Structure 1
Amino acid sequence: MLKQVGAFVLLSLLAFHSPFLQANSTTKDALIRFDNLGQSIELVAHAGHFKIPGQEAELQLASRLVVKVSSEQYGHALAARFDAVNSVALLYQGRGFSYFLWELSSLTDMVAILEALRLDTGVLLVQPDLLQLDAARMAMTAPLSPGILARSVSGKGSAVRIAVIDDGFVLSHPALAGVNLAFSYDTQSKSQDVSPAYPSDTHGTKVLGVLFANSQRVNGLVPDAELVAIRQPDTWTSNTLLAFQVAKLMQADVINCSWNSPWLVEPLKDVVDDLAENGRAGKGVAVLFAAGNAGKPVQENQTEAGLASAIVIGAVDKQGNKTSFSNWGPTIDGYFYGENQLSLDNNMKYSYFSGTSLATALASGYIAQLITKKPQLSLHDIEAIVRERKLTVR
């Protein structure tokens, strides 16, 4: 079943490469309204993009909708009612709900169908597919042949499995020569090549160094763990949901997200809640997010760092003092070291890593070690152990 579902999801998304839409004379008067975390949101045109009143993040749209329904069957039947729906793909399948991506003919069709679906009692949630520009790459990639994904998603072995969702990975680094790669996937190109697209995309490789490196200069925390490498360098809602679906299909025990977005979208909360409640055969997948490096308090459901169902990590120095840059607040579950630590770089050499991103990677390795020693630990147990560490922070 895992292989069949994996092949369907990964291959079906190859068709989605519609261009993004700018706010211009055609779109500036369109009322784009949707619901998010109990609030009604109305987008306004701003400098060629869109904004949410009261939010800093600028948004880009595409002629696509992210649609949540109670079942996969209903999602396909619902889409068949609208002539303007060009294609449909399953993004994420949770317990009692499914998220779909609908590609539409135009922005005008997207706005009209969005309004219709908001009134449909069979639709649990509908939002435009959003790109948050504060943390996004604007380059678009070309579609690749479905034959690239001919290899089926494999079953899970006995080792603890860590999915890392990040900007790209240099898997050919000598310090990663022995890494146990279970699967790799790029949500942009829809291929298994997860190499960085830009020289600046070094973040994911540094995270892998903390976890998996095995060299004289850098020793990862869990070099024998299985890796699921997922390249997701932008903030399209659809790509982010797909990244977590891949991690779920690959039965990851731990999902490392050493990042957070400017603004939390409800579909991502749904996905993390589902993994925390139902993953690991009901014990709960540990999904980790970085608290952020702005030195400010984090509010609940403000960003991914405000998710109660995630494990959110702040940074401390060697003395156990919270660093000046680390965000803080009641949703932070634990603090790990976040100052300079040697890790890997894209040039096949080594460089230093720091911030709550480093702290989150260290926490992911620590939790993977816990699961290796005691596989029966529930997410609740893991969170309690991590919170105990927070008590030592000064």
Structure 2
Amino acid sequence: MHRFTIDRNKDRRDPRVLLHRSFYLSDLPRLMLACRLTGHRPVVDGYDSKYGPEEQRRARWVACDRCGVRPEPQGHLDPDEWNLGQPYTGPTVTARRLSPIVVKQLARKGITPRLQTEPGPWPARPEGSLGAELVIGRAHTIGAQIKVGNPGSEQVLAGHIGLGPLGALFVHSERFGTWVQRRLNPTGHQSRETGFSIFHGRLSWDLWAKRGEWNASDPKWMHGSVSIDPRDHLLGPTRNRKVSETEKVPAVVRMPEGDTHDVTVHLEQWETRRTRGRATTYWMAEWDCKAGIPVRNHDWKGDATYSCSWHIEGVTPDTDRWPHIIAAAAAEQCTRDRARYNYRAPSKEDA
């Protein structure tokens, strides 16, 4: 068994968060009492897909219907002869899977091992992992959710509970809980979620909904939301609209490292109001840099900030030098991002 923790506050500090840490327990032995007492229950597992090359769209192997453990090797059965979920009554072999080192040694000699079609023996000591993430302090929502993974999910079961300003707790399992997953969501490539959340005065829910997906064909009971803010019922819903905006004005963002960047800035006047009641107006500042302002050193993920908008208290078109105020705010924002990503300015040799 191995255990370790990660301090998430190091990635992005928030003064409103007292603790943000992840905990992991790996290489935990799985109990599987029924399988250890009576033996595994082999069934045909696999998938049918309409994507990819024709010879890879269907696959069959062997797994235990109770604990989900696969033999080693798991086997490669003929999809035309075996159906998903069918009890496996075919032969097994005692030869074990070749190690990666042996496979590489054979590859150097031009030898490709034959694909093992029959399943091998069951592993003697199946293992799994557990994980949790604890936040004490500010969390984004109030709610709870449970996820049941699909057959290919790394996390078999997962769930979380959020308590708003008090914090949140997230938990997940890897390989543990496979019996539940195989009973509730044994086929397909979509995990299922059930839960609710309260955010910005609305109660939202998901009932056995596909994770990260919404289709017009889904039944209405599967997803939904309703306003629980009494102001929405007494005064009407809140609506925002842009009233006016200034012309785009050129400005210069000067970074502490000495680099400068040409940007365009402008102000937008927005109005927030309900159906009944007074309207509130405010100004949003926006800046845009076509070339981008680099804020991190990364080879492939991108390293430039291009545009942003935010509310700056007291800044209106009547404010003297408002373009320079926005440029200074943009420099401050990019400076914070550079500190967060540990940005290193290129040297003269690199330039």
TM over 0.5: no
Which of 1 and 2 has greater Rg? 2
Q: TM-score range by the shorter chain?
A: under 0.3
Q: Whose strand proportion is higher, 1 or 2?
A: 2
Greater RCO between the two (CA within 8 Å, min separation 6)?
1
Q: Whose helix proportion is higher, 1 or 2?
A: 1
TM-score (norm 1): 0.19
